[in-house]
Amino acid sequence: MIQINNLSKIYNNEVEAIKDISLTIAEGDIYGIIGLSGAGKSTLVRCINLLEKPTGGTIEIDGVDLTGLSEKQLREKRKEISMIFQNFNLLNQKNCLNNVCLPLLIAGMNKKKAEKRALELLEIVGIKDKATAYPSQLSGGQKQRVAIARALATSPRVLLCDEATSALDPTTTAAILQLLKDINQKFNITIIIITHQMSVVESICRRVAILDDGMVAEKGEVSSVFSNPQSAAARRLVFPEGYDDKLITADEDVRFIRVVFDGDIATSKPLVASMAVEVNVVASIVYASTKSIGGKTYGSLLLSVKNDEKTVKKALDYFTRNEVSAKEVFLNV
Amino acid sequence: MFSADKFQEALEIVVSQFPLALWETVYVTLIATLFATVIGLPLGVLLVTGKKDGIRPLPNWFNRFIDLFINVLRSIPFLIVMILVFPLTRVIVGTTVGTVASIVPLVIASFPFIARLVESSLKEVDPNIIEMAQSIGATPFQIVAKVMLPEAFPSLLQNLTIATTTILGYSAMSGIIGGGGLGKIAINYGYYRYKYLIMLLAVIVLVLLVQIFQSIGSFIATKSDKRLK
């Protein structure tokens, strides 16, 4: 549904914020775009609705290339692409009802009809009772709910979330994410979530793209990317506690194997110990972690074994026999 | 310092002339503020929206021209403005003397000031909120009318109050070219006829008037600001 082709944005002819990004986002999907600060996430999301004019590449929504539209056509198109923000961006001088009315009035709806629709939307997001309250009287979570109601007003097909939960506490974040999930299912709105929080992507996204230094480092199903990250950028995000390749000595004597397994296997069999007994390969654990992704628990181990072709093969075969995914990884290369 | 008959004389003048003068000062000030706002507000909006990174960028030469135009007008002393606009005043009002005629130089002298105040008020509007308005497909005009002006309303009101009190001060000066009001009384009696007591009383009334305008303006501005609750 959304097709981003070779998108790039260069500021002032020198700063390359994003480089050659290509993504395909399916209708009704919840797509996460994750990266550290300065990775180009905000630029990318602003290029999707052309708040930032890309310097190269195209953005197609249902086959229509947005970069080829006139200002007027673009304004019409933007009514199908709503956006919510980290700081909510509500009008401080208007109450919640009028904040939600804004896009409707801008689209030319009369005041009375707009207010009726706004009330329905406030009900959907669960804060109808705050209709006459002003933003300064609301909590962060409530403000974001108003912003979501406003974003839904024009019945958009796409919802862009720019760090929408970054200013919220964990409990509120969970509630807002649940709301986004409900909206995605109820209205079949494609949601694109920009975030630096792993937990956000893990809890609601189906697919993810990892952005690093303005480029897509890795993309795919959340479960596969997060359980078995291939790129250095992905590993930094998935193992933020210090899975730093540089800390692990590139010793001539050892080779590394990454093992990824789901929780059931991890608890039912002492894999590493059994490997020593069954195939006579001793391995040391260099790194280990567990992650919960989409309700399933994944464990990840980085093992080092003797630098010997036969040993590595024996170990890999052993894991394959036990239905655990294992792969040799080359660090510091 | 002042003898009893001087007080007696002053009292008579206060009773006979102050009510009309007060009324003239108030209506000249308010009408001049109104017209100056009608010109200054759109100009102030253009100053913000027309910037290179504004919502509706204007050609650079045009921006520079308005900027220079405003600065030039603002640097001319009001006394000189009053004399310089005589031809314009004659075209608009038909005469260059009198209370109504004094409104023209007041408007000319104060609309650039108001444009600058409007500019500073609108600059305070959170750029993220303007970005939000663009993201929902608002036209530049809609962004100004439905987002920027309402969001800046308390600040605009506060600044317009400042403008009103400044114009009140200018209007007192227009007594020199025959404009009516408390300024005229102060100059006529105090400066030309050495009746300092009457001048003093006129000044006291002017001070009170500024106080009242300022208090009312600040009160409404604070009351209307929904961020403070």
Given a cut of 80, whether residue A6 has pLDDT beyond it is yes
Torsions phi, psi for A12 (to 5 deg):
50, 35
The answer, for B67 touching chain A at a CB cutoff of 8 Å, is no
Interchain CB distance below 8 Å, B226 and A79: no
Nearest CA in chain B to A100: B136
Point out the residue among A82, A93, A154 whose CB comes nearest to the CB of B151. A93
Distance (Å, whole) CA B13 – CA A240: 84
The answer, for A94 touching chain B at a CB cutoff of 8 Å, is yes
- Tell me the ipTM for this assembly: 0.88
pLDDT at A276: 87
Q: Buried b vs exposed e over A4-15: b needs ≥16 C-beta within 10 Å? A: bbebbbeeeeee
Nearest CA in chain B to A101: B146
DSSP H or E stretch at residue A21: strand A15-25
Chain A positions in Cβ-Cβ contact with residue B145 (cut-off 8 Å): none
pTM for this prediction: 0.85
Point out the residue among A77, A81, A93 whose CB comes nearest to the CB of B153. A93
Interchain CB distance below 8 Å, A78 and B146: no
A108 Cβ contact list (under 8 Å, min separation 6):
none
Distance (Å, whole) CA A183 – CA B142: 28
Given a cut of 80, whether residue A269 has pLDDT beyond it is no
Chain B positions in Cβ-Cβ contact with residue A85 (cut-off 8 Å): 128, 132
pLDDT at A300: 78
Chain A positions in Cβ-Cβ contact with residue B142 (cut-off 8 Å): 106
Interchain CB distance below 8 Å, A79 and B137: yes
Amino acid at position A317, single letter:
D
pLDDT at B174: 85
User: Nearest-CA neighbor of A194 among A159, A230, A146, A144?
Assistant: A159
The 10 Å Cβ neighbour count of residue A20 is 14
What is chain B's pLDDT, residue by residue, as a tens digit (229 residues)?
678 888 888 888 888 889 999 999 999 999 999 999 999 999 999 999 999 999 999 999 999 999 999 999 999 999 899 999 999 999 999 988 888 999 999 999 999 999 999 999 999 999 999 999 999 999 999 999 999 999 999 999 999 999 999 999 999 888 888 888 898 898 888 888 888 899 999 999 999 999 999 999 999 999 999 987 6
Query: What are the pLDDT digits (tens) for A290-327?
Result: 776 666 677 778 888 888 888 888 888 888 888 787 88
Amino acid at position A57, single letter:
G
- The pair of three-digit structure tokens given for residue A71, joined into one six-digit string: 């200002």
Distance (Å, whole) CA A96 – CA A133: 6
Say how far residue B52 (Cα) sits from the centre of its chain: 29
Distance (Å, whole) CA A135 – CA A176: 17
pLDDT at A240: 63
- The pair of three-digit structure tokens given for residue B12, joined into one six-digit string: 């008579």
